Amino acid sequence: MELTRRRFLGAAAALGLAPVPRILLRAAEQAVKSQDDRVLVVLQLSGGNDGLNTVIPVEDDNYYRSRPTLAISKGEALRLKSGSSGTVLAPYAGVDVGLHPSLKALHELYEEGSVAVVQGVGYPNPSRSHFRSMDIWHTARPDVEDVTTGWLGNVVTRHRDKIAALDVGDERLPLALAGDVQVPSLQNLDWIEHLATDRGRELRQRLRSLNSASRGGEAERIRQLATSTLRDLDGIIEVRGKKCPVDYPQTQVGSSLKWVGQLIGSGFASRIYYLSQGGFDTHARQRDAHGALLGMLSEALGAFQTHLKAIGAADRVVLLVFSEFGRRVRENGSQGTDHGVAAPVFVVSGLVQGGVYGPHPSLEDLDDGDLKSSVDFRQVYAELLTDVLGVPSEPILAGKFDRIGLLGKVRRI
């Protein structure tokens, strides 16, 4: 059978690898391979996570009046204590807050001092459009539309000799990773898992046989490309085939984080990993659905941190959890919530100065029914860029943004 360009590209896509050229392992060889290198993992909660039911103002009567069916009771909320063992009390307005009861594993990490909760995060002149707001978070340019490069893609472009990135599990490459350097994407994770089975090995062997004949011209170039693709695929499957020291939940976000943990543990040299969890656009019957989503997130984060501790990487990996916006204060007539503005973000790491940062947004001083932001998301980005990736933040963010102090334990470069 003739190996045409179209046939090979189709086969590679079926294998879950994109883009085909310079895939994965060879792309990562550009990064500096050192156990001292810090790693940034970005986890996107797609759809607009309800921050008000994630970090709950448990003593604010306005919260309970605004959400007669959705409010989490004081007894259910997992209180965020200041001064817990190992934590450093961050700048904090004194409003009592707690986590959603489904976030038990995340709460345990907070008690260890490994979680920074940044409240009221947003940007000026906010958009309630999923597409526009996500573009703003991805490009870090709320003042400019139609930006085609992302904040992390700019990092890889500017520092391609030191920093590589990898997208894990997304159907297409996020705008955040777009730039002049093509970032590889590890897609179709379930199918790649299948390729490690006996039937999967047979499929890979057939592809090798199909590709074995010598050819000339364009066909020979495609044959060489196919050979390197299959070799890289073997390397990825070998990484995943190694015994994992912890049991991850069998969920989409659990599988993605397991891949990240195993790649970090194998010495894979990517300094940036990007993944996402969907389903957070909870306009109706939110209570059970949102609780389930947060439970999946929390269990996966707990397993990931346990994994990092087991491989000695907890003090060099920093994980950011964000969503494109929060939800409105009042629940709607469908027992859900509509698109809002400000929301909390989490930064999880053995390096973090654990605690609650920034005041909880006022539920009395609203902007057309929405919470007002007090922290610009680019302040968080600036700290991650300088203290985790070790690169200047101003060229990436097109401006200077005040530090929050999330990563005071990090040696700055």
Domains of the chain, residue spans: 34-187+249-397
Q: What percent of the chain has pLDDT over 70?
A: 75
- Taking the model in full, what pTM does it have? 0.85
Mean pLDDT taken over the chain? 84
Amino acid 172: pLDDT: 87
Is residue 7 over pLDDT 60? no
Is residue 8 over pLDDT 50? no
Closest CA to 342 of 56, 164, 119, 178: 119
Contacts (Cβ under 8 Å, ≥6 apart) of 268: 25, 28, 166, 239
Buried b (16+ CB within 10 A) or exposed e, 370-409: bbebbbbbbbbbbbbbbbbbbbebeebbeeebeebebbee
User: Model confidence at 365, in pLDDT bands (50, 70, 90)?
Assistant: very high
Amino acid 182: pLDDT: 86
Q: Could you name the CATH architecture of 34-187+249-397?
A: 3-Layer(aba) Sandwich (3.40)
Q: What is the mean pLDDT of residues 181-201?
A: 70
CA neighbours closer than 13 Å in the CB half-sphere of residue 228: 14
Using alpha carbons only, what angle is made at residue 49 by residues 44 and 52, rounded to the nearest 5 degrees? Answer: 135
Higher local confidence (pLDDT), 83 or 283: 283
